[in-house]
Structure 1
């Protein structure tokens, strides 16, 4: 059984992804993918996890742009979902993707090292 916060988080995920596809006007925001949304049970804070393709500088620039756009995103969520209270928005870089890529790279190194022993 879904909690209400899970359903609202899913709706926010779709909405924010759509906003990014249409394009937020901030040039600092690069190629962003929303990886997940966590919403507190009281629906007062939505943490939106994202990844960005690019250098560390581009990631920082995107973080700045998303932080700046949080008010606009919150307003759009309010319009679309018609909630009594619209949650505050916090954008957070999703480091789990980088962690997964690092593990995959290490496993490939291990497997390529095994072939050298033959």
Structure 2
């Protein structure tokens, strides 16, 4: 029977859980806001873990905002400390090097939702305009 999840996926899930805890309780830097660890992707050789984050309090959810840049800078500087703490928390031979990135999916999701809302309102406006007119107006 084949394994349902690969080892790298299981390690990534465990790293995500532990990092979420460590970022909230272990880092005392006031520059870090409400950080959410959305995803962790571990390389096949387990040498690197790419950690995708969002900041909940950020008004603009894009990678160019100052708050996001500052948070990423602080997290990437604290990567060694976090890696050391991960090594104590999880029992694996080699703890991957951590690299933090901004997760664009939340912002893209909001943008897509906005586009869908705009399309719905246009459809409703056209439907109400169409029901007000006579059938001859719709054919011509």
TM-score range relative to shorter protein: over 0.9
Alignment partner of 1:70 out of 79, 96, 120: 79
The separation in 1 between residues aligned to 2:40 and 2:7, in whole angstroms, is 13
What are the Cα deviations for residues 84-113 of structure 1, in whole angstroms up to 9, with x where unaligned? 221110001111111111101110011112
Q: Deviations over 1:57-110 (max 9, x none)?
A: 111111111111111110011111232221110001111111111101110011
The gaps in structure 2 that reach 5 residues or longer are 129-140
In the TM superposition, residue 23 of structure 1 has moved relative to its aligned partner by: 5.0
Matching residue of 2:135 = none
Does the 8 Å contact 1:28/1:64 carry over to 2?
A: no
Paired residues in the alignment total 118
The question of 1:5 aligning with 2:8 is answered yes
TM-score by length of 2: 0.79
Name stretches of at least 5 consecutive residues in structure 1 with no aligned partner: none
Which residue of structure 1 aligns with residue 103 of structure 2?
A: 94
SS of the residue 1:65 aligns to? helix
Give the number of the structure whose alpha-carbon radius of gyration is greater: 2
* RMSD, matched Cα: 1.3
Q: TM-score, normalised by structure 1?
A: 0.92
CA distance in 2 between counterparts of 1:21 and 1:30 reads: 9
The reply to whether residue 40 of structure 1 matches residue 43 of structure 2 is yes
Whole-Å separation in 2 of the counterparts to 1:91 and 1:27 = 18
